[in-house]
Amino acid sequence: MEVEPLAQQAQQTLEQAETADLVIGIVAELDQEAITGVRDALRTLSGLPRVAILIDDRTAQPSDPDASGTSTSPFLVPWPKLTPDTPGTPMLSVALAYQSVFAACEKLGAQYCCVLASKLESTGPEWLRELVRPLVEGDVDLVAPRYARHKFEGLLNSSIIAPLMRCLYGKRIHNPLGPDLGISRRLFQRMTGADRNSGNAVSRGNALASVAPAAVCNGLQVCEVYTGARVYAPTDWTNISSIVAQVLSPIFLDMERYAACWQRTRTSVPVSAFGDPVSVSQDEGSVDISRLVESFQLANRDLQEIWGLVLPPSTLVELRKLSRMPVEQFRMSDDLWVRIVYDFALGHRLRIINRDHLLKSLTPLYLAWIASYAQALATPEETPLEQRLERLSAAYESGKPYLVSRWRWPDRFNP
Amino acid sequence: MWGQIKQALAQSTVQFLTRLATLLPGVVALILALLVSITLGCILAVIVRRLLAAIQFDQLLTRWGLPSLAELSPANSPSLLVSRATAALVIVAGFLIGVAAIDAEWTSLFVRSVFGYIPNVLGAALVLLVGSIIARFLGRSVLIGAVNLNLQYARFLSVGVKWLVVVLAVAMALEHLRIAPGIVKLAFGILFGGIVFALALAVGLGSKDLVTKSLERDAQRVSNENIEEPFRHV
């Protein structure tokens, strides 16, 4: 992981500040009032740590009396391009913000850092205090949020990221990619050290995906904090394949990096959670999945030559059967979906085809799984959301021997 | 008269045998050179293949982002391609050495012209190779992009892009080989211009309504997707 060089203006402010115990980067769009709310909330932390809050210099108010002063904590540091203009690449923006925060953390010798990237429904940004509390008051190295979830939100996380990371690294972290994470200096230094030792300059987008694997594989303390439901950006359907590729690529890269670690892990255990679970109302009724199914059917017709390079014949046969199903009976089994994800992870490792092509060709299969998931949740006899997702995670875990076997012996016959 | 015929026959036989006798060492040398070069070529091919296998050349190429080279190689193995190319080069060199043993003057001219043409052949081969890799890459990019945009004619688009690049690469390679350059330029210009003109006509005249409806349908679908569906991904 590379640490961002400090810009001159930020350098001056940080030199005035000299030190801080906690550095917080605010990536979410917050108004002045909300930022004041964050500062007031952070003042109530026990031990009164010195807190530096990085805000984007384009949104900082010059009239704010505290914008340039570092005498009272928490103090604001206008940071150049904390939220970089990278349209269509939300995860990359957050990953780059993490790089900036890590750089400030190093400079100020801070013990903890945190990024606030989300807005929550019906809660002000004060919840950030709850996120950093286990860092400051406990001996925790990674605090991940456990957002209350609506059934059709955070689908990439629910269908791939969380269950895959749980199965690989053995810790049941519900949002391993945050994006709101609290990180200790110890964890940050382990991540930096691992990169230096491996001699690889890991891609910039990788910082966020590496946090949870680095914490777990280095035996550091991980916990979760219950929060409200996160407000998600509306889906840009024309860009969905790029987002899938952008999110999954660093996760698959980390699978190579931490292969020795995850191959030793057999089962998963829950991590300790702070706070009270927040319940949200779920939308009832069915949704129209015909477009998702059509997208999958089209891909099944046209992408066979690409899928055939990655998926074994038995999976291709099952996909063909699935494509012939009517929309109302459309169901993709969890086992099939899990095998597909594992085969794509292996294809990514072996570079069977260009990695971007590979990950983008996964998109129609991901949409097929969403269609199946939405269809299942619409039926009255289906189990509640948490149980449904638990069943998917269990499928990932029971399919792990398949992944390990294919990872170790990729050339072995696979019908 | 019979005596004269016999003498003429004897003279021509002697001349033929003399010519044959002077050529024979050259022919034997050619056969020998070929045999030696074939043997050397095979040995060299085995050595090259083993060396490349030892450094995991096939995997290295894939790691460098050239997996399509494997698809163009025999048995999907670029190592095999390189080793066979090495063997072929040695055999061709042996053949040229053998030919030089028959008639040095003619051979030197031949060899000079062959060697003079080699840069063109290599350049054309390189253009073809790069063109085919780019065509495959762009074809796949267009196919995946179009499928993800739910375009029904994704495959048609992909094949069109792929063949356009292949045709361009072949025209460039033929130009490099100096094979009927005028015709190639003309044919390529007519072909490309024709395609563009046909598309312009299709959009401008005959298929205007069809294209408009298709674009409207696509735009409508995208906006509907944005409005109606409750799915959020990241």
Alpha helix ranges (H) inside A157-288: 162-169, 185-198, 206-217, 240-257, 259-264
Is the per-residue pLDDT at A211 higher than 60? yes
Domain boundary among A228, A247, A274: A274
A238 and A302 assigned to the same domain: no
Q: How many CA atoms lie within 13 Å of A162's alpha carbon, on the beta-carbon side?
A: 26
Q: State percent of chain B over pLDDT 70.
A: 82
Query: Tokens 């016959």 label which residue?
Result: A413
Chain B nearest-CA distance from A93, in A, is 13
A266 and A336 assigned to the same domain: no
Q: Which of A243, A298, A351 sits opposite B67 (nearest CB)?
A: A351
Q: Which residue has the higher pLDDT, B101 or B39?
A: B39
Cβ neighbours of B143 in A, within 8 Å: 302-303, 306
* Residue range A234-263, pLDDT digits in tens: 877 788 899 999 899 999 999 999 999 999
Cβ contact, residue pair B141, A357, below 8 Å: yes
Is residue A311 one of the residues assigned to a domain? Answer: yes
Which pair of structure tokens corresponds to residue A205? 């987008």
Q: Exposed, middle or buried by CB within 10 Å (0-12, 13-18, 19+), for B205?
A: exposed
Which pair of structure tokens corresponds to residue B143? 């196919």
Q: Which residue has the higher pLDDT, A316 or A16?
A: A316
Q: Which residues are registered as beta bridge partners of A25? A: A54, A115
Give the C-alpha separation, B132 to B126, whole Å: 10
Is residue A380 one of the residues assigned to a domain? Answer: yes
Is the per-residue pLDDT at A3 higher than 60? no
Is residue A45 one of the residues assigned to a domain? Answer: yes
What average pLDDT does the structure give for chain B?
A: 82
Residue A23 near chain B (CB below 8 Å): no
Cβ neighbours of B229 in A, within 8 Å: 235, 287-288, 291
Residue B229 near chain A (CB below 8 Å): yes
Question: pLDDT band for position A365 (50/70/90)?
Answer: very high
Cβ contact, residue pair B234, A91, below 8 Å: yes
Question: pLDDT band for position A202 (50/70/90)?
Answer: very low
Q: Which of A152, A153, A364 sits opposite B148 (nearest CB)?
A: A364
A215 and A313 assigned to the same domain: no
Which pair of structure tokens corresponds to residue A204? 């910039």
Is the per-residue pLDDT at A338 higher than 70? yes
The full DSSP string for A308-327 is HHHS-HHHHHHHHHHHTS-G
A335 and A369 assigned to the same domain: yes
Cβ neighbours of A287 in B, within 8 Å: 229-231
Please tell me which residue of chain B has the smallest CA distance to A88.
B234
Mean pLDDT score, A380-402: 87
Q: State percent of chain A over pLDDT 70.
A: 85
Predicted pLDDT at A13 = 65
Cβ contact, residue pair B234, A302, below 8 Å: no
Mean pLDDT score, B21-37: 87
What average pLDDT does the structure give for chain A?
A: 84
pTM: 0.80
Predicted pLDDT at A151 = 85
Lowest mean pLDDT among A45-49, A132-136, A364-368: A45-49
Is the per-residue pLDDT at A293 higher than 50? yes
A188 and A83 assigned to the same domain: yes
Lowest mean pLDDT among A94-108, A188-202, A205-219, B41-55: A188-202
Predicted pLDDT at A12 = 66
* Residue range B68-115, pLDDT digits in tens: 666 667 777 788 888 998 899 899 888 888 887 777 677 778 777 877
Q: Phi, psi (5° rounding) for residue B43?
A: -60, -45
For the domain that residue A50 is a member of, what is the CATH number? 3.90.550.10
Predicted pLDDT at B99 = 80
Type of residue at A259: A
Chain B nearest-CA distance from A163, in A, is 15
Lowest mean pLDDT among A12-21, A281-290, A325-334: A12-21
Is residue A284 one of the residues assigned to a domain? Answer: no
A243 and A359 assigned to the same domain: no
Cβ neighbours of A243 in B, within 8 Å: 233-234
Is residue A48 one of the residues assigned to a domain? Answer: yes
Is the per-residue pLDDT at A327 higher than 80? yes
Lowest mean pLDDT among A21-30, A151-160, A337-346, B5-14: A21-30
Lowest mean pLDDT among A196-200, A229-233, B37-41, B65-69: A196-200
Question: Which residue range forms the structural domain that includes residue A402?
Answer: 290-408
Domain boundary among A274, A305, A320: A274
Mean pLDDT score, B12-39: 88
Question: pLDDT band for position B139 (50/70/90)?
Answer: very high
| Through-space distance between the first and last CA atoms of chain B, rounded to whole angstroms | 108
A261 and A342 assigned to the same domain: no
Domain boundary among A247, A274, A301: A274
Q: Which of A155, A288, A357 sits opposite B144 (nearest CB)?
A: A357
Is residue A150 one of the residues assigned to a domain? Answer: yes
Predicted pLDDT at A17 = 65
A231 and A298 assigned to the same domain: no
Chain A nearest-CA distance from B59, in A, is 8
Query: Tokens 């991901």 label which residue?
Result: A366
The full DSSP string for A92-103 is HHHHHHHHHHHH
Neighbours of A48 (CB within 10 A): 12
Q: Looking at the 3D structure of chain A, how many domains does it have?
A: 2
A317 and A254 assigned to the same domain: no
The DSSP call for residue A4 is P
* Residue range B183-234, pLDDT digits in tens: 878 888 888 788 778 777 766 676 566 666 666 766 666 555 555 567 777 7
Is the per-residue pLDDT at A122 higher than 80? no
Predicted pLDDT at B108 = 74
Predicted pLDDT at B58 = 80
Is residue A285 one of the residues assigned to a domain? Answer: no
Type of residue at A176: P
Is residue A283 one of the residues assigned to a domain? Answer: no
Question: pLDDT band for position A94 (50/70/90)?
Answer: confident
Mean pLDDT score, B7-19: 88
Predicted pLDDT at A201 = 45
A303 and A353 assigned to the same domain: yes
Q: Which residue has the higher pLDDT, B126 or B97?
A: B126
| Residue length of chain B | 234
* Residue range A178-192, pLDDT digits in tens: 788 999 988 988 887
Mean pLDDT score, A41-53: 81
Cβ contact, residue pair B140, A237, below 8 Å: no
Which pair of structure tokens corresponds to residue A188? 């940050």
Question: pLDDT band for position B177 (50/70/90)?
Answer: confident
Pairing state between β A112-116 and A182-184: antiparallel
Mean pLDDT score, A363-380: 89
Cβ contact, residue pair A298, B226, below 8 Å: no
For residues A298 and A204, the answer to whether their CB atoms sit within 8 Å is no
A241 and A313 assigned to the same domain: no
Question: pLDDT band for position A320 (50/70/90)?
Answer: very high
A142 and A77 assigned to the same domain: yes
Starting from the edge strand earliest in sequence, which strands make up the sheet with A112-116, in order? A75-79, A51-56, A22-26, A112-116, A182-184, A142-148, A222-229, A272-274
Mean pLDDT score, B52-80: 74
Cβ neighbours of A283 in B, within 8 Å: 230
Instruction: Reduce the DSSP state of residue A126 to 3 states and report it.
Output: coil
